[in-house]
Amino acid sequence: MPGKSACIECTLNLYPPQVNFPLCTIAQTPRLPEHCIEYVRMMQWPAETPFGKDIDGDNPEHIQWIFEKALERGSQYGISGITYRLTQGVVKNIIPAVASTNAVIAAACATEVFKLVSGCAPIMNNYMVFNDADGIYAYTYEQEKKKDCMACSLESQIITLREESTLRELIDFFIESPVYQMRSPGVTMVTAEGRNKTLYMKALREHTEANLSKSLKDLGVREGTEVNVTDVTSLLPCIFKIYFDSPMTS
């Protein structure tokens, strides 16, 4: 329930860590189809930049190029099983879904909706485990919202920057940080006079690109200034409070 219960981002610590393949295995001794795909994604794409941009997992041309190159590498090492679907799954880090599991989750969601609209029974609050290997085991508990959740929290997060930091460095930080992993962030702020000021926005690049080389202080950012950052990776704007004089941290 937006604004009331924890969102999926609040509960990411419940999930197992992402599987990463050792770079030496990918580059020198591939054994799995995934190794071939990761090699193309990590090594060949940056070297050849076939479309002159970053990989877009939703672009069929990008996935097709990686798929074909992975097939070539797989043939060199006698590795089979490389498919277009697997390629897209590796690039987008998709966990394959099983139809029966989807049906169980859909049934649970429909049941919860029915309980909400009819009041016939208490609603789930708000976590269920389904294990069909040894029968069904289900229980509920209330997962707490994270105050600093990137997806649903409206509280500001603190970022400490070097005093001479530029707007470009701030944007690069949001893109490169393993915490935020933004794609093309836009930054706005409220000035001391109470006016909204756009520091950078891709859609307004012609008017705001000159700000990228300027220091944040030259752009009016002071100690404790709050900036709003929007990006396609988050439904809501993220609010950051800026402080200076230390290395950039999250």
The vertex-56 CA angle with 228 and 48, nearest 5°, equals 120
Q: Is the Cβ–Cβ distance between 228 and 238 less than 8 Å?
A: yes
State the amino acid at position 35 in one-letter form: H
Q: How far is CA 178 from CA 17, 48, 101, 174, 183, in A?
A: 13, 25, 30, 9, 12
**Distance between CA 85 and CA 176 in Å, rounded?**
27
Q: Note if 24 is an active site residue.
A: yes
- Selected catalytic residue, list 7, 24, 149, 152: 24
Within the chain, what is the greatest distance between any pair of CA atoms? 66
Count CA atoms within 13 Å of residue 82 on its CB side: 31
Residues β-bridged to residue 187: 200, 229
Reported as type and span, the H/E element at residue 157 is strand 157-160
Q: How far is CA 211 from CA 35, 166, 179, 199, 229, in A?
A: 41, 9, 25, 7, 15
C-alpha pair distances (Å), 183 with each of 34, 55, 120, 210, 230: 24, 11, 44, 20, 10
Q: Which residues are catalytic?
A: 24
